[in-house]
């Protein structure tokens, strides 16, 4: 997008970047409505798949109608207590594949990158002395090293160059390049490791 903007407006300056995180339901539709049939008068609206600006308005109308006892034509479509294991089978299998890859298979892959291949302001996973390490190199050339394993369930992290964070592909946890836990479900920081 930046490249296209610069083609159209060569003098344009990128002042801000935006990034978001949002859970996505198995069938790709948000969950809106009662949290549970066992907990009356408690409502949920989630799984907007990055469409929170518009879907949150839909959610507000559905939940307001539920509270007021009014019929809403969209409430059944977004019903939060729906669960269709057969309909959602393909997505469920994809989710299991992603988790298996990050939790097990990626740990056996030998990284091709080396410490010398990490540019300034970049992070990569490298292998040093038979140990996989996540390493970020700041603009001054200083290295920040940690084990790229999520402290939630142990999935292998990947580097997010836009946010300068280590992200978990399994459940969305996010860590700063210094190892600080930034985003749940992980709540435990990752310790920095000295490589000098």
Domains and CATH numbers, the chain: 1-83 (no CATH), 109-183 (2.102.10.10)
Contact of 80 with 34, CB cutoff 8 Å: yes
pLDDT bracket for residue 8 (50, 70, 90): very high
Q: For position 137, what pLDDT does the model report? A: 96
Give per-residue pLDDT as tens, 146-188: 999 999 888 889 999 989 999 988 778 899 999 999 987 888 9
pLDDT bucket at 93, cuts 50 / 70 / 90: low
**Is 0.85 surpassed by the pTM of this model?**
no
pLDDT of amino acid 2 = 82
CA distance readout (Å), 96 to 33, 134, 149 = 27, 24, 18
Pairwise CA distance, residues 46 & 80, whole Å: 9
Percent of the chain with pLDDT over 70: 82
């Amino acid at each position: 997008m930046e490249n296209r903007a610069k083609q159209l407006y060569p003098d344009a300056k990128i002042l801000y970047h935006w990034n978001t995180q949002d859970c996505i339901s198995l069938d790709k539709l948000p969950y809106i409505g009662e949290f549970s049939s066992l907990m009356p008068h408690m409502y949920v609206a989630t799984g907007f798949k990055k469409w929170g600006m518009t879907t949150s308005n839909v959610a507000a109308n559905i939940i307001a109608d539920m509270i007021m006892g009014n019929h809403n034509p969209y409430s059944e479509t977004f019903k939060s207590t729906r669960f269709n294991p057969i309909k959602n089978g393909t997505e469920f299998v994809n989710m299991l594949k992603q988790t298996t890859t990050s939790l097990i298979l990626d740990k056996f892959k030998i990284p091709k990158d080396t410490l010398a291949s990490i540019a300034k302001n970049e992070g990569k996973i490298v292998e040093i002395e038979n140990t996989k390490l996540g390493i970020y190199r700041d603009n001054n050339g200083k290295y920040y090293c940690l084990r790229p394993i999520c402290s939630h369930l142990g999935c292998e992290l990947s580097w997010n160059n836009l946010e300068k964070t280590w992200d978990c592909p399994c459940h969305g946890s996010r860590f700063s390049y210094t190892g600080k836990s930034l985003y749940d479900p992980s709540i435990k920081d990752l310790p920095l490791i000295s490589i000098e």
